[in-house]
């Protein structure tokens, strides 16, 4: 079986389902929706990390502010969690976790992190999907799902959350953009340019679709791009470039995890998107996701299948971006666990990694130029296992001004965490 199909299967059942649903471009059918035998743990209030544990959860330098199980998020029976993002109301300064589930996105006010409140939810156009993702531009949330029935791009006006007096409320979408069957794997919104970038969708052959969201309730497709060499893109981050390669200063550049390689695109001219480079690396299992350092000199990448295919611990791949036309994968970091890694985000000198069964891991990256990362905190949401597999922490959002970090647990729910002052 070739590696492209391996990337789309995480068990034999997944492969059969994927083939039945879509005979188009090969794609990665997202992670299993949790171990079917896993039980959702009970709700839990503020629990500090002491002597290596917060209640049942192994931890280091991260306190539990509160935990909301799936049912408290409005989940249907057997509904699981997936993507997560955050929004801060510019008027009230309230902080909200936007957590995606199989059938909905739930909106949770986490301003008082010890007493979170489910404000309401937006039901998806497509239901019963293991992969739903959400991102934000201004005061609007954008939701996609990798599902047979096609979720399209759902748009939701987040300012509606501030007026709720009798929660939870079932909201309606503020707008929808449907093209083709509307099946989309992921998206990233560049807040500086007002463009959303969908990837892994059928309409663009699994490649990139650029959408103008300056007018969020009237989103408009402006470009559709696919690499003829290998069409499918799994995830990406798009920025206005201010990094070391001065040839591209001020350009809008996307750094895409494209199954086998790091793909770098110049999307400044939407009518003439340029591929700057496509670079593989040793030990590839499935190039899944990554994030830039704040100075845009380096890219941290996770590979979702290498822990299984290569038999090594949780591994982060470090890329030097001095030359965008020839990036260099120059070092790796191996964690003290064997967990499968999933999504990571950089804030300052810290990277926040969601490593499935090992939970949230926080690493100091101040010595990344020397190829060195250092773990400074963790909160393990699957206490009985740190092995590889597709259960536990799907994603996290570490960008709230308060320092609160929210984590989505696939079979668990919403963890609201606060790193201590030792995390630096």
Could you tell me if residue 132 is inside a domain?
no
Whole-prediction pTM value?
A: 0.92
pLDDT of residue 22: 35
pLDDT of residue 11: 33
Nearest to 34 by CA among 327, 382, 325: 382
CA terminus-to-terminus distance, the chain: 44
Name every residue whose Cβ is closer than 8 Å to that of residue 103 and which is 6 or more positions away in sequence. 75, 76, 79, 123, 124, 127, 128
174: exposed, middle or buried (C-beta count within 10 Å: 0-12, 13-18, 19+)? middle
Domains held by the chain: number: 1
Pairing mode of beta strands 117-123, 169-171 = parallel
Nearest to 150 by CA among 165, 168, 128, 173: 128
In the beta sheet, which residues pair with residue 44?
Answer: 67
CA distance 22 to 18: 6
Could you tell me if residue 238 is inside a domain?
no
CA distance 20 to 12: 13
Nearest to 73 by CA among 408, 395, 417, 418: 408
Could you tell me if residue 372 is inside a domain?
no
CA distance 416 to 96: 11
Could you tell me if residue 3 is inside a domain?
yes
Domain holding 26, by residue range, is 1-30
Could you tell me if residue 26 is inside a domain?
yes
CA distance 34 to 112: 29
pLDDT of residue 38: 67
Could you tell me if residue 23 is inside a domain?
yes
Could you tell me if residue 276 is inside a domain?
no
CA distance 177 to 169: 23
CA distance 402 to 361: 19
CA distance 79 to 77: 5
Could you tell me if residue 258 is inside a domain?
no
* 351 contacts 376 by C-beta, under 8 angstroms: no
pLDDT of residue 167: 97
* 258 contacts 230 by C-beta, under 8 angstroms: yes
CB count within 10 Å of CB 401 equals: 8
Return the C-alpha torsion angle 108, 111, 116, 122, nearest 10: -10
Q: Give the CA angle between residues 369, 372, 376 to the nearest 5°.
A: 125
pLDDT per 10-residue tile (average), the chain, 424 residues? 35 31 41 57 97 98 98 95 98 98 97 98 93 97 89 95 96 84 90 97 92 96 94 97 98 97 98 98 97 98 96 98 98 98 98 98 98 98 95 98 98 98 96
């Amino acid at each position: 079986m070739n590696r492209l199909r391996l990337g789309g299967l995480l068990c034999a059942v997944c492969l059969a389902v994927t083939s039945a649903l879509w005979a188009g471009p090969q794609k990665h059918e997202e992670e299993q929706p949790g171990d079917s035998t896993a039980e959702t743990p009970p709700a839990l209030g503020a629990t500090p990390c002491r002597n290596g544990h917060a209640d049942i959860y192994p931890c280091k330098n991260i306190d539990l502010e509160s935990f909301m199980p799936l049912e408290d998020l409005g989940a249907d029976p057997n509904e699981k969690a997936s993507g997560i993002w955050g929004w801060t109301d510019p008027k009230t300064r309230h902080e909200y976790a936007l957590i995606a589930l199989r059938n909905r996105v739930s909106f949770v006010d986490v301003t008082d992190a010890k007493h979170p409140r489910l404000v309401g939810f937006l039901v998806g156009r497509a239901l019963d999907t293991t992969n739903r993702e959400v991102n934000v531009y201004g005061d609007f949330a954008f939701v996609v799902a990798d599902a047979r029935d096609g979720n399209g791009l759902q748009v939701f006006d987040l300012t509606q959350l501030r007026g709720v007096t009798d929660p939870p409320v079932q909201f309606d979408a503020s707008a929808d953009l449907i093209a083709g069957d509307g099946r989309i794997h992921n998206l990233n919104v560049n807040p500086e340019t007002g463009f959303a970038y969908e990837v892994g969708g059928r309409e663009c052959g699994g490649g990139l679709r650029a959408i103008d969201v300056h007018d969020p309730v009237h989103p408009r497709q402006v470009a559709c791009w696919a690499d003829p060499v290998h069409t499918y893109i799994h995830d990406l981050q798009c920025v206005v470039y201010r990094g070391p390669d001065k040839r591209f200063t001020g350009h809008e550049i996307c750094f895409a995890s494209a199954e086998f390689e790091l793909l770098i695109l110049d999307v400044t001219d939407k009518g003439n998107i340029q591929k700057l480079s496509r670079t593989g690396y040793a030990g590839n299992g499935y190039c899944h996701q990554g994030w830039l350092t704040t100075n845009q000199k380096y890219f941290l990448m996770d590979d979702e299948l290498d822990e299984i295919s290569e038999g090594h611990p949780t591994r982060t791949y470090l890329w030097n971006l001095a030359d965008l036309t020839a990036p260099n994968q120059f070092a790796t970091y191996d964690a003290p666990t064997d967990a499968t890694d999933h999504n990571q985000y950089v804030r300052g000198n810290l990277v926040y990694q969601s490593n499935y069964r090992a939970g949230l891991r926080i690493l100091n990256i101040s010595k990344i130029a020397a190829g060195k990362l250092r773990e400074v905190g963790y909160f393990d949401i699957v206490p009985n296992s740190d092995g590889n597999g597709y259960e536990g922490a799907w994603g996290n959002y570490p960008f709230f001004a308060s320092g609160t970090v929210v984590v989505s647990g696939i079979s668990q729910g919403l963890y609201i965490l606060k790193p201590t002052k030792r995390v630096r």
